[in-house]
Structure 1
Amino acid sequence: MFKDRKDAALRLAGLLEKYKEDSDAMVFAIPRGGVVIGRVIADCLKVPLDIIVARKIRAPFNEELAIGAVDPAGNPIVNDEAVRMLRIGEEYLEKEIRKKTEEVRARLKKYRGNNRYPSLSGKKAILVDDGIATGYTVKAAIAFLKGLEAEKIILAAPVIAPDTLAEIKLQADEVFYMLSKEPFYAVGQFYNEFPQVADDEVIMLLHP
């Protein structure tokens, strides 16, 4: 168990010690909760912090069920098997992807202004979140970082769902975590304190 996000981040930063003061390394946090983790890790490693905004694509009639995610460029990743099993129509899927793309763009503008992402050629991207359940947002973020030509993608999260861990290890060059165990119901179950993170806090953490 972790006391809160800062406690988890400090412990996670210890696993990433080899990237301390690495001029080619950069932390990318997934908002909102991941930015709390990212700020601590970036400060501990003395490397820059940026964000990767990705939004889950929801199934119809059940907003808690994710079937994919959209990355900062509006590119979707979709669980085709889930779409078939749930008999989700193409019209709904296209509408949901458009909606999530608009949400991503709005959040990007709020957090990053009109700044474009730089090329990451020759760079090591350390992607962080406060926990990983289905892994859809992380998979979308990894695909986006690969599109920016990151030389190496390091994924770091305090807790990762066991089923998702095996999949993520195939996509990232390195994966750092502290907990991955059943029963896994939600990321919050592994924290004593897991409050919502507001947009204002995200902006403050990005621009201290």
Structure 2
Amino acid sequence: MTAIQLPLADRTEAGRLLAEALPDYLGRMDLLVLALPRGGVPVAAEVARALAAPLDLMLVRKLGVPGQPELAMGAIASGGAQVLNPDIIRALGISRPAIERVTESEQRELERRETAYRGTRLPPALAGRCVILVDDGLATGATMRVAVQAAAAHGPAELVVAVPVASTEAVDLVAEQADRVVELATPEPFMGVGAWYDRFSQTTDDEVRALLDEAWQREDHHSS
């Protein structure tokens, strides 16, 4: 794999470079690219376009530590999948009621996004397909681990995780569950996903909807 220059310009460039690292999947009829919103959508949109694959969502939400929302104590996904980080929970003495409060709040946001992004469009079938899960990076890997767990429950033929940057620890954890993990760089010390992008502004709901609408129109046109 060609070495990449860090920092990456933005998520769009990251997606183009990531697609170049996935040549084996170009033209596969069973291929499906699933983005983790919101930051994973611009990356995944470029991957799906380059690989001529349909694009859809794997909705996940990080469970942030109370008072430190950027620190993940776990994650949840559509369909009820949940992953918790017992080391962080134990180290910080987080109570079960506190975990449940955060989970309930993030479940409401998950449902809001499901409606906001997908509308009445049904989720795609994953059974028997090659599914590539894409995010803009892996720090702890909590959200991707729950995404893999949620996707695996639907019986895909192959489950691939593809990200531009990741911590080595997250890659190791995700690799225990996915069939393959593709990452462009594992810089050390990792310092968080945003440290490896020049432009890392928050992806908005409107941007997510626009990218999905474009991909879905292209898919509907090809299938008509």
Normalised by the size of structure 2, how large is the TM-score? 0.89
Moved more, 110-119 or 71-80: 110-119
Q: Distance in 2 between matches of 1:52 and 1:78?
A: 18
Aligned residue number for residue 103 of structure 1: 109
Counterpart code for 2:128: G
Q: Which of these residues, 79, 83, 90, is aligned with residue 73 of structure 1?
A: 79
SS in 2 for 1:178: strand
Moved more, 24-33 or 185-194: 185-194
Q: Which of these residues, 136, 152, 155, is aligned with residue 149 of structure 1?
A: 155
Moved more, 84-93 or 198-207: 84-93
Aligned residue number for residue 170 of structure 1: 176
Q: Which of these residues, 188, 191, 199, is aligned with residue 194 of structure 2?
A: 188
Distance change >3 Å, CA 16–CA 196, structure 1 → 2:
same
Counterpart code for 1:65: L
How many residues align? The count is: 208
Q: Any idea what the Cα deviations from partners look like across 1:12-64, whole Å, max 9, x if unmatched?
A: 10111111121101000011111001111101000100011111111122222
Q: Distance in 2 between matches of 1:84 and 1:3?
A: 38
Asked whether the equivalents of residues 28 and 127 of structure 1 are also in contact (C-alpha less than 8 Å), the reply is: yes
In structure 2, runs of 5+ residues without a counterpart are 1-5, 215-224
Aligned residue number for residue 89 of structure 1: 95
Q: Distance in 1 between matches of 2:195 and 2:66?
A: 26
Q: CA deviation at 1:134?
A: 0.9
Aligned residue number for residue 32 of structure 1: 38
Q: CA deviation at 1:121?
A: 1.6
After superposition, the CA RMSD in angstroms is 1.2
Counterpart mapping for 1:123-138 below 5 A: 123-138=129-144
Moved more, 81-90 or 22-31: 81-90
Q: CA deviation at 1:118?
A: 3.7
Q: Distance in 2 between matches of 1:92 and 1:114?
A: 33
Q: Distance in 1 between matches of 2:66 and 2:10?
A: 33
* Deviation >3 Å, runs of 4+: none
Q: Distance in 2 between matches of 1:142 and 1:169?
A: 10
Aligned residue number for residue 19 of structure 1: 25
In structure 1, runs of 5+ residues without a counterpart are none
Moved more, 108-117 or 34-43: 108-117
